[in-house]
Amino acid sequence: MPKTLFDKVWERHIVVPETEVHPATFYIDLHLIHEVTSPQAFTVLRERDLKVRRPDLTLATIDHSTPTKINPDGSRPYVTAQAETQVETLLANTEEYGIETHGWDSDNRGIVHVMGPELGATQPGMTIVCGDSHTSTHGAFGAIAFGIGTTQVGHVLANQSILMRKPKTMAINVNGELQVGVTPKDVILAIIAKIGIGGGTGYALEYRGNVFEQMSMDGRMTVCNMSIEAGARCGMITPDETTFSYLKDRKFTPSNYDAACADWASLATDEGAVFDKEVNIRAEDIRPMVTYGTHPGMGMAIDALIPAATDATDESALNYMQLKGGDKIAGTPVDKVFIGSCTNSRMEDLRAAAAIFKGRKVASNITVIVVPGSVLVKARAEDEGLDKIFIEAGAEWREAGCSMCLGMNGDIGAPGDLVVSTSNRNFMGRQGPGVRTVLASPETAAATAVSGVITDPRKMESAA
Amino acid sequence: MTFAPLKTVTSRTLVLSLENIDTDQIMPAKFLSMTTKAGLGEHVFANLRYDKEGELTDHELNSEAGKACEILVAGHNFGCGSSREHAPWGLTDYGFRVVISSEIADIFRGNSLKNGLLPIVIDKRAHQWLLDNPGADVTVDLESCEVRLPRNGGTYNFDVDAFSRHCLMEGVDEMGYLQNQDDAISKFENKRL
C-alpha cells in the first residue's frame, strides 16, 4: 500500500504498536531541551531515582529567559533573579546528567529550533521532540517533530520514548508561481488563514507542491515552524537535494553521508498515497500577509481591507487591536518592529530585512530590534556586514535568543504599542500587557520600520 | 500518585465563552520562570484576574463561588498555542478538574490528561447550552463517559482515550507504564544499531 512521508517515519519508530487499550510506545531520536520546560522534569527524575536513558540523543541550550543585551561590565541583565536561576538550573541539570549543552560559551547557542538544524542534529526520517510547540520547525527536514509538555520531557529523559496515538494526515498543496515579493512567511500565514487556527487539530501536515520544492531550507523552516498555529502538532516537507546539501558537513552529519542521503530519499510520499484530508492553494493567489486580530489565523493580504467582525470573538479581537473592519491595514501607525524568533531569525531573513534597511533610516516614531537566531547566525551576519546596515539604519542589533517573541526575558512592548513582528503569535498580551502584535515577514517588517506605518514591501525599492 | 483519582465530578460551571483562549492567556509567559509547579493557581488567567496595578478585579474567577467551581466551560478551540504545561498546572492548582469545550487543542489536551485535568470535547448543542447557562450544576461521569446537564439540558456522551481514562480514574501517571517497557525499548534500540 502506498505510504505517506509521515507513515514511513512513524512506522520506523514504533516500539510497541497502539491498540484500543493503549497508545503506541514511540521512540524518539532527538530530544532538545531548554531552560523553561525542563526543570520540573529533572525534579521528577530525582524524586524517582531515574537516570537519563540516552544523554547522547539529548541536546540542550538556553534561549527563552536569556537577556539579549550585555551590560558594559560584561554581566547579563536578567529580567528577574528567577530568570537567572532558571538558566543556571538548566546548566546544572545538564552538567549533572552528562547532556551536551550549548550554553554561554558555545558558538552554537541560540534558539533551540535554530540550533538543531545548524548542528546537523536535525535529520530526515528522525523523530524529534522538545518542550516547545515550535518544534514543528524541524519537520522542514522530513522529520516527525513536535512539541511536548514537561511531563513528557520527563518521559523522554527517562525512557527515550513517549506514548502517543497516530494522528491523521493532511496534505497542504501549494502549486503555481509565487508573485514577486511573496515570502515563505506569507505562504504559511495564507495557509493558516485558510484552514483556521484549529484547522489542523488532530492532523500531521505535509506541505506539498512545487512552491515548497523550490523553497530554501530557511524558508521551509519558516513554514513548518507555524504548523502549530493551525493546531497541527507537526508539519513536514519531503527531504530532497536542497535538504541533503544543507546537511553536508555539519557537526552531526552521518559519516556515511551518501548512504544516509539514499535512505532519506526513500522517505518521500509514495505515488497514490492517500491523505485523510487535502487542501489546495494556488500560489498566484497569495499576497504579502499581515495579521489583524489576536491569533495567527486572523491573517489578511496587506493590500486588502480589514474583514468585518462576524461574531463576538472577532469583535473583541478588533477592539483589542484598535482596528476597524472595512479600513485599510496598510498605513496603520506602528510603535515597534521586532525581527527575530524561531520563525524568522535565520540568515535569509536577516539578508531580506537588510536589503530594505540598506541606505534608509528607521522612521522617527519607531524602535527596531533585530535579534539573530543563534550565535552562529550573528557571526555570519556580521561577516556579511548586515549588522552595520541595521545599526546605520537606526535598529538595535542584539544577542541571540527568543527575545520579544514571547517576552520572557523582558524584551517587551509598552501597553498599547503596535508591534510589527516576524514571530509566530499575535495573542493578546504575548509581547507585553496590552501590546498589539501584527505578524509579518522580515521584508514587511523592515519596510514598515523605515516607513513608520504598516507598509507593503513590494512598494519599496530594494537598495541592494 | 501525582493527582487524585477522578471518577465523577459534580460542580457549578464557570464559563469563559471567548473562542481560541490560548495558553498565553491561561498562563502568561512571565510566570514561566519558576523551576517548580507550586502556586501557579494564583496566576492562572492573570490578565482577567488582575488589573494594571496588580489589584484583583471583580472577575468571577476571583469570587468564592468561582473558586469553588471544578468545571470550566470555555469557547471553541481552548488551549491553543504554546505547549507550556504551566497552563494545566495552573488550572488544577486553582481547583479545576474538568474543562469542556467544542474543540480543545492537541498539546494542551495531552498535557491536561497527564495532570488529572479531564478535557472534554462535547457536541455543539450541549456546548451552546453550557455557554448559555453559566453556573449550572453539571455532573461529569468518567465511568460512563457522560456529561449530565441539569433541568432539561439532557445527557451527552464524550470520548476519551481508554488508556488516559484508566490513568485518570486510578490516579496513576504514565511514567511507571513506560518504565515497565524497558525491555521492549532496549530491544528496539539494539535492533537499530
Task: Please check whether residues A281 and A298 belong to one and the same domain.
Answer: no
| Interface contact flag, B36 A23, Cβ < 8 Å | no
Residue A184 lies in a domain: yes
Residue A252 lies in a domain: no
Task: Please check whether residues A304 and A421 belong to one and the same domain.
Answer: yes
Question: Does B162 contact A at CB distance below 8 Å?
Answer: yes
CB A311 within 8 A of CB A334: no
| Interface contact flag, B85 A65, Cβ < 8 Å | no
Residues of A in Cβ contact (< 8 Å) with B24: 406, 425, 427-430
Task: Please check whether residues A281 and A348 belong to one and the same domain.
Answer: no
Question: Does B155 contact A at CB distance below 8 Å?
Answer: no
Instruction: Check residue B152 and give its pLDDT.
Output: 79
Instruction: Check residue B151 and give its pLDDT.
Output: 86
Task: Please check whether residues A183 and A81 belong to one and the same domain.
Answer: no
Residues of B in Cβ contact (< 8 Å) with A24: none
pLDDT digit string, tens, across residues B146-185: 999 998 789 999 999 999 999 999 998 899 999 999 999 9
> Between chain A and chain B, how many beta carbons pairs sit less than 8 Å apart?
171
pLDDT digit string, tens, across residues B40-82: 999 999 999 999 899 999 999 999 999 999 999 999 999 999 9
pTM: 0.97
What CATH number has the domain bearing residue A448?
Answer: 3.30.499.10
| Interface contact flag, A48 B175, Cβ < 8 Å | yes
Per-residue pLDDT band at A464 (split at 50, 70, 90): very low
Residue A118 has pLDDT above 50, yes or no: yes
Task: Please check whether residues A298 and A281 belong to one and the same domain.
Answer: no
pLDDT digit string, tens, across residues A301-332: 999 999 999 999 999 999 999 999 999 999 99
Residue of B nearest to A165 (CA): B161
First to last CA, chain B: 36
B180: Cβ–Cβ under 8 A, 6 or more apart, which residues?
none
- Domain count of the fold of chain A: 3
Is residue A236 classed as helix, strand or coil in its secondary structure? strand
What CATH number has the domain bearing residue A210?
Answer: 3.40.1060.10
Question: Does B35 contact A at CB distance below 8 Å?
Answer: yes
Instruction: Check residue A462 and give its pLDDT.
Output: 55
Separation CA A441–CA A454 (nearest Å)? 12
**Lowest-confidence range among A5-14, A100-109, A340-349, B147-156?**
B147-156
Separation CA B21–CA B77 (nearest Å)? 7
Residue A285 has pLDDT above 50, yes or no: yes
Task: Please check whether residues A124 and A187 belong to one and the same domain.
Answer: no
Single out the residue of B100, B104, B86 nearest to residue B25, CA to CA.
Answer: B86
Separation CA A449–CA A364 (nearest Å)? 9
C-alpha to C-alpha distances, A76 to A69, A94, A317, A409, A432, nearest whole angstrom: 7, 21, 36, 11, 21
Is residue A7 classed as helix, strand or coil in its secondary structure? helix
Task: Please check whether residues A280 and A375 belong to one and the same domain.
Answer: no
Residue B1 has pLDDT above 50, yes or no: no
- Which percentage of chain A shows pLDDT scores above 70? 99
Interface ipTM: 0.96
Task: Please check whether residues A175 and A269 belong to one and the same domain.
Answer: yes
Beta strand A289-291 with A299-301 is antiparallel
Average pLDDT score over residue span B124-137 = 96
Instruction: Return left, alpha or beta for A176; rule: phi > 0 is left, psi -120 to 50 is alpha, else beta.
Output: left
Task: Please check whether residues A299 and A337 belong to one and the same domain.
Answer: yes
Instruction: Check residue B192 and give its pLDDT.
Output: 86
Residues of A in Cβ contact (< 8 Å) with B189: 27, 160
What is B8-192's CATH superfamily?
A: Aconitase, domain 4 (3.20.19.10)
Phi, psi of A90 (to 5 degrees): -60, -45
Average pLDDT score over residue span A45-71 = 98
Q: Find the angle CA(A393)-CA(A395)-CA(A399) to the nearest 5 degrees.
A: 135
DSSP collapsed to 3 states, B37-106: CCCHHHCCCHHHHECCCCCECCCHHHCHHHHCCCEEEECCCECECCCCCHHHHHHHHHCCCEEEECCECH
Task: Please check whether residues A267 and A295 belong to one and the same domain.
Answer: no
Question: Does B12 contact A at CB distance below 8 Å?
Answer: no
Scan for cell 531552560, then name that residue. A35
Domain limits for position A177 = 168-239+263-285
Q: Which helix (H) or strand (E) holds A336?
A: strand A336-339
Nearest-Cα distance to chain A for B86, in Å, is 9
Strand order in the sheet with A127-130: A100-102, A58-61, A30-33, A127-130, A144-147
| Interface contact flag, A158 B178, Cβ < 8 Å | yes
| Interface contact flag, A406 B82, Cβ < 8 Å | yes
- Which percentage of chain A shows pLDDT scores above 90? 99
CB B127 within 8 A of CB B102: yes
Task: Please check whether residues A279 and A294 belong to one and the same domain.
Answer: no
Nearest-Cα distance to chain A for B147, in Å, is 22
Task: Please check whether residues A306 and A325 belong to one and the same domain.
Answer: yes
| Interface contact flag, A15 B185, Cβ < 8 Å | yes
- Where do the domains of chain B lie? 8-192
- Say what angle helices A39-47 and A81-97 make with each other, to 10 degrees: 50
Residues of B in Cβ contact (< 8 Å) with A198: 20, 76-77, 80, 103, 105
CB A76 within 8 A of CB A33: no
Separation CA A197–CA A200 (nearest Å)? 7
Question: Does B56 contact A at CB distance below 8 Å?
Answer: no
Question: Does B185 contact A at CB distance below 8 Å?
Answer: yes
Separation CA B138–CA B148 (nearest Å)? 6
